[in-house]
Amino acid sequence: MQDVIVYCDGAWKGSTDSGGWGAVIIVDGDRENAREIYGGKKGSTNNQMEITAALRALEHLTQPSRVKVITDSQYLVKGASTWIEGWKKKGWVTGKKQPVKNDDLWKALDAIKARHDISWEWVKGHSGVEGNERADTLATMGAREAAGSTDGQAESAVAVRKLPADNKQETLSKDPRLSESTATVGLEFAFGFDELIAGMNKRLKRHGRTEEVIVGSIVGYQVVQKNGLSSGGVYRSMDEIPKGAFDPEIDILRPVYAQAT
């Protein structure tokens, strides 16, 4: 069975009411020959395009595979890995007895993912993960082409392109005080990459260390409600979030990073 990594992303442009999706597919670690596909549709939503990106990537695979799907969409990760089983048992309605949004896409994704051994991984968007960055670019291209097409749709042929290595790598292992096992939770560093880096490097310098942190490891998540207030504490993984505590339609998950002690 081949090993596949899929980076996928969705986009939506309000000015043209067009959505786009993009996916980068790496088979058996061959980044030199990464496959790229993208498309788009007018009148769609960002969440629809997030699901479509994963769906099209899985449809591209011609044989059963071990697949890791990497995305910056919490909606896709939680939906595909957790919520979908509950939706099926309840007849495709939510806990509030409302029809599941985008159920046509979820049903199609559920059918095709049964052919593969799939894991789902969330990454922070625009954090230097090359596959995610490229999928984002492809999704934007799809939205733009859909907006300019006569039928409001677009879909590319498969292209092959080298995928460079990630330009920001974890180097926290250099200093045990910055490892996940010994890190303290620093909520003040959950608001932006630049602030995270500056704060952690300041602490290293204070402790007489010369190496620099390139990226902090995520040690948990907070649920942030529509009003901007956090709900509950810090969850070590998304699987620990209680049912009903996170509504993907209105809430967001804010990553919490390791901090030097």
**What is the rounded average pLDDT of the residues 173-201?**
39
DSSP E strands, 14-60? 18-27, 34-42
Gap between the Cα atoms of 176 and 217, Å rounded? 13
pTM of the model: 0.65
- The mean of the pLDDT values for the chain is 78
**What pLDDT, on a 0 to 100 scale, did the predictor assign at position 177?**
32
pLDDT score for 204: 54
* CA distance linking residue 16 with residue 56, whole number of Å: 23
Q: What number is the average pLDDT over the span 95-122?
A: 94
> Would you state the structure tokens that stand for residue 159, as one six-digit string?
């292209």
Predicted confidence (pLDDT) at residue 193 exceeds the cutoff of 60: no
Of the candidates 14, 11, 18, the one whose C-alpha atom is nearest the C-alpha of residue 43 is 18
Distance CA 22, CA 93 (A): 28
pLDDT interval class at 2 (50, 70, 90): very high
| pLDDT tens by residue, 35-87 | 999 999 999 999 999 999 999 999 999 999 999 999 999 999 999 999 999 99
The catalytic residues are: 9-10, 50, 72, 126, 136
Structural domains of the chain sorted by starting position, each given as residue range(s) with its CATH number in brackets: 2-161 (3.30.420.10), 172-259 (no CATH)
User: Hey, what are 147's tokens?
Assistant: 């907006």
